[in-house]
A = this chain, B = another copy of it.
Amino acid sequence: MKTRIGILGYGNLGKGVECAVKEANDMELVAVFTRRDPKNVTILTENVPVCHIDEVADWKDKIDVMILCGGSATDLPVQTPQFASMFNVIDSFDTHARIPEHFAAVDKAAKEAGKVAVISVGWDPGMFSLNRVYANAILPDGKDYTFWGKGVSQGHSDAIRRIKGVKNAKQYTIPVESALERVRSGENPELTTREKHERECFVVLEEGADAATVEKEIKEMPNYFSDYNTTVHFITEEELEKNHSGMAHGGFVIRSGKTGMNKEHNHIIEYSLKLDSNPEFTTSVLIAYARAAKRLYDEGQKGCKTVLDIAPAYLTEMSDEDLRAHLL
């Protein structure tokens, strides 16, 4: 019997889950839930109902894993505990600083309901976290480096759009190549914020706005831009639409560490992602952990887990025997 998947929230992530379920031979999409009027939501899969979020309780016994595709700022802190009381759930909660409190709330709800929840699934947190933990466990005497990009940062793009005179904007976070090379050389450098990433902004001005004023305001914005080398390009709305609508992203997790009786040997562990579509890669990870959640639930486990608590073999359709014979 196939694992029955529900999608809650039909934005970029919801659509990505829909694509990823299609690739999984052991899963089927059974319903999509939305806060909008379901009549106005058209999905890509035929014969799957779109339901209003208020009807979700009716699906309690018809869905094995509900994938929560809301945002981390306001949706998931409420939704994940709420729906973990009815379903096994997966979310991509990515506010790193608030993970401990989110974990506690979800764990309580899932344990009371006898369900499995997996939070903070995706690539960072997610695959990058895994790689930090493996690399730290192997090389305890070492140093971690995480670089993001090249890719659009939603938060930084939003910050630019809030500036008076800005009609629209996209901001790319770009890792500094020379910093990556220093890390890869085993030098174990101390890198400042400015040395690790640069920021490139593509800005559409409102009619009559002054470019020099906007550029100055961007470059001097504390936290967001003032600690970085920032480049600002002014372009038309058409150019923005045509050249900067992609959702590519990526990054690097590197650990450099020493071994040997006299620390005479250095080792570099590097994990990197180069993604054409940030949301579709994220949801591909979500689907792999949905498979794991179902298996853990079937084993009688309950409560909140993260990617750190789940063995790799749970993520794949392959049997343990096939994994040992072909991928080990």
Q: What is A's interface to B at a CB cutoff of 8 Å?
A: 16, 18-20, 22-24, 44, 96, 99-100, 103, 120, 125, 127, 129-134, 136-141, 184, 186, 259-261, 264-277, 280-281, 284-285, 288, 291, 306-313, 315-318, 320-321, 323-325, 327-328
Number of copies of this chain that the complex holds: 2
Q: A99-B324, A130-B312, A138-B288 are in contact. Are A268 and B259 (CB under 8 A)?
A: no
With a CB–CB cut-off of 8 A, which chain B residues contact A271? 131, 269-271
Q: B280 contacts A273, CB within 8 Å?
A: no
Chain B residue with the shortest CB-CB distance to A96: B328
Bound form: Cα–Cα A267–B307 in Å:
20
Minimal beta-carbon separation of A48 from chain B (angstroms) = 14
Minimal beta-carbon separation of A27 from chain B (angstroms) = 11
Q: B312 contacts A308, CB within 8 Å?
A: yes
Q: A280 contacts B265, CB within 8 Å?
A: yes
The 5 closest A-B pairs by CB, nearest first: A137-B315, A265-B276, A265-B277, A259-B280, A268-B274
Chain B residue with the shortest CB-CB distance to A140: B23
Most chain B C-beta atoms within 10 Å of own C-beta, residue among A139, A184, A308:
A308
Chain B residue with the shortest CB-CB distance to A139: B284
Bound form: Cα–Cα A327–B308 in Å:
10
With a CB–CB cut-off of 8 A, which chain B residues contact A20? 259
Q: A100-B324, A306-B328 are in contact. Are A316 and B269 (CB under 8 A)?
A: no
With a CB–CB cut-off of 8 A, which chain B residues contact A132? 327
With a CB–CB cut-off of 8 A, which chain B residues contact A276? 186, 264-267
A interface, by DSSP: helix, strand, loop or mixed? helix
Bound form: Cα–Cα A222–B269 in Å:
34
Q: A137 contacts B288, CB within 8 Å?
A: yes
Most chain B C-beta atoms within 10 Å of own C-beta, residue among A137, A264, A268, A277:
A137
Q: B285 contacts A260, CB within 8 Å?
A: no
With a CB–CB cut-off of 8 A, which chain B residues contact A308? 311-313, 320, 323-324, 327-328
Most chain B C-beta atoms within 10 Å of own C-beta, residue among A132, A313, A317, A320:
A313
Chain B residue with the shortest CB-CB distance to A134: B312
Chain B residue with the shortest CB-CB distance to A266: B276
With a CB–CB cut-off of 8 A, which chain B residues contact A275? 265, 267-268
Q: A309 contacts B306, CB within 8 Å?
A: no
Bound form: Cα–Cα A328–B120 in Å:
8
Q: A103 contacts B267, CB within 8 Å?
A: no
Bound form: Cα–Cα A307–B312 in Å:
8
With a CB–CB cut-off of 8 A, which chain B residues contact A323? 133, 308
Q: B281 contacts A273, CB within 8 Å?
A: no
With a CB–CB cut-off of 8 A, which chain B residues contact A325? 99-100
Q: A267-B275, A271-B271 are in contact. Are A16 and B259 (CB under 8 A)?
A: yes
Bound form: Cα–Cα A259–B127 in Å:
17
A324 contacts which of B103, B273, B312 (Cβ < 8 Å)? B103
